[in-house]
Amino acid sequence: MPGGPEVKPKSLLLLALTMAAVAAFGLKYSGAAISGEGKAHEAEKKVGIEKVSKTDAEWREILTPEQYRILRKQGTERAFTGKLWDNKKEGVYRCAGCGLELFASDTKFKSGTGWPSFWDPIAVNAVGVNVDQTLGMVREEAVCNRCDGHLGHVFNDGPKPTGLRYCINSASLTFDERKDEASEKEMEKSDKK
């Protein structure tokens, strides 16, 4: 193509296959989410997610005012104020709206931004990405793929292997701490007494 970048057939094939996969699974397109490297573990991740739909009144009833403002109205909490931004415990981060597992603690990293940051979702289709053109800029909004709740944003300045930073509001999340086997067995013994 005169005056334009050279496009290799292999790149076109990869793009076509990616777009077909996105269409087949109903995933939202994201250049950042699709261009990440080191995703050999994707085949092991979940594929089907049943949607959760509630009225505005139902969301207001089950969410705190802060969770509602962020999850349903695309708000943002102030940096360094959320309860999970500095959480170092092992476990699973879930959507505060519908309970879907979104991120594992082993993908959380210290970004210095004041919000929980992850380099990869727990499942390929757990977190969707939408174009966000608010505040006079174009960003990629991270949303829960089950309830469409606003989680935060995705940036291309994260660590390897993906190079992504899912910058997530604490109010959009709940946390289930992972108990090690020894402490679980002790709890079972004490429960039987």
Domain of residue 80, CATH code: 2.170.150.20
Query: Distance (Å, rounded) from C-alpha 102 to C-alpha 186?
Result: 29
**Among 19, 169, 161, 162, residue whose Cα is nearest residue 102:** 169
- Say if 185 falls within a structural domain: no
pTM summary value: 0.70
Q: What is the pLDDT of residues 155-190, one digit of tens each?
A: 999 999 999 999 999 999 999 999 765 445 555 554
- Domain span at 160: 28-178
Query: Distance (Å, rounded) from C-alpha 88 to C-alpha 48?
Result: 30
Residue of 95, 98, 144, 167 marked catalytic: 167
- Say if 9 falls within a structural domain: no
Model confidence at 114: pLDDT above 60: yes
Q: Tell me whether residue 167 is one of the annotated catalytic residues.
A: yes
- Say if 147 falls within a structural domain: yes
Q: What is the pLDDT of residues 135-162, one digit of tens each?
A: 888 899 999 999 999 999 999 999 999 9
Query: Distance (Å, rounded) from C-alpha 108 to C-alpha 166?
Result: 9
Q: Report the pLDDT value the prediction gives residue 137, as an integer from 0 to 100.
A: 85
Q: What is the pLDDT of residues 6-56, one digit of tens each?
A: 444 444 444 444 444 434 334 333 334 433 333 333 333 445 788 999 999
- Say if 167 falls within a structural domain: yes
- Cross-strand bridge partners of residue 155: 165
- The residue to which tokens 């993906």 are assigned: 162
